[in-house]
Amino acid sequence: MNRRKFIRNSLVGLGLVTAVTDSRSEHKSLENRSRYQNGVSPWPLVLNTSTIRPASLEDKVKITAGAGWDGIEPWISELEEYEKKGGNLKDLGKQIKDLGLMVPNVIGLWDSMPEGEEAFRESLKVTRNRMRMASDIGSKFVAAIPGPDRENFDVKWGARCYKELLKIGEEEYNIRPAVEFVGFFKGVYRFGQACAIAIDADDPRACIIADTFHLFRGGSGFSGLNLVQGDLIAHFHWNDVPGDVPREEQGDSHRVLPGDGVLPLKEVLITLKKIGYKGCLSLEIFKRDLWESDLRKVAELGLQKMIECVRGAGV
């Protein structure tokens, strides 16, 4: 029995995780694989911790590993709280890796693009520390959200800030910031705006984070994905939306599990395969009824829905 199987079986014995088939157990590196989840998916399937929000960060890691996900995507607030309580993020990152999980992204660098040079310089102290925390846990990317949100957000200024964030992240913390647009923001809420910030940063490392909900909510739609190369997209949040709530009225709480809504997820997956997207698909849900359920079962159901979604696309 190898080390990963031993750790997994020990957790099962302690009742910390449920027994599931581990399609990753014979592989040393998830990132070097071409297929995931017993060959079903060309992309790693990742659980964003918002989906099981009430659990502690340690329990989220155990639940995610126990359900059979390929990776976990935490929030920076969770890492901040973990450190404040005396936890060591590098040790936690090692535990995550030992359980067979990757950390593709952390959310995120909030308020990292304030208006004006002085405000931007002042923000870098907090931003640097957040980069350090995301790097300590072993994350490859960290979401750079164009904020504080404002209607007059200057995309040119955003590109200027992002260019420096890329340099700091890569050279000081070995982590890559990725621009994430938010569909209900007043400023940067469309796919094209995020692409403009990344492209105009004039750095070959520039990239964005996309989200099926934000593509829908911000009115960008999904056809624009055909016009970019897959390498522009660092990470992809995955979810569905209900058909009985007007687009402009939807918020995070309206997100539903893949296949339970009306988004053209099959077509989006086919497009991602065609453009050569190589990142992860991360289930990101904010449903109170799920939070109030058995979180282990929620994680298992979420993975099942993700697998069904990918399998249905035939990619």
pLDDT band per the 50, 70, 90 thresholds, residue 246: very high
**Comparing C-alpha atoms, which of 73, 104, 307 is closest to residue 207?**
104
pLDDT band per the 50, 70, 90 thresholds, residue 32: low
Task: Write down how long the chain is.
Answer: 315
Distance between CA atoms of 276 and 283, rounded to whole angstroms?
20
pLDDT tens, residue by residue, 182-227? 999 999 999 999 999 999 999 999 999 999 999 999 999 999 999 9
Residue 3 above 90 pLDDT? no
pLDDT tens, residue by residue, 64-73? 999 999 999 9
**pLDDT given for residue 163 in this prediction:** 98
Instruction: Say if residues 86 and 103 touch (Cβ distance below 8 Å).
Output: no
pLDDT tens, residue by residue, 89-143? 999 999 999 999 999 999 999 999 999 999 999 999 999 999 999 999 999 999 9
Mean pLDDT of 26-43: 78
**pLDDT given for residue 220 in this prediction:** 98
Say which residue, 16 or 157, is predicted with more confidence: 157
Q: Find the helix packing angle between 117-136 and 155-173, rounded to 10°.
A: 40
Q: Where are the domains of the chain?
A: 41-313
**pLDDT given for residue 210 in this prediction:** 98
Distance between CA atoms of 219 and 230, rounded to whole angstroms?
21
Give every CB contact of residue 68 below 8 A, 6+ residues apart in sequence: 20, 21, 22, 23, 37, 300, 303
**pLDDT given for residue 7 in this prediction:** 43
Class of domain 41-313 as given by CATH: alpha beta
Instruction: Say if residues 190 and 218 touch (Cβ distance below 8 Å).
Output: yes
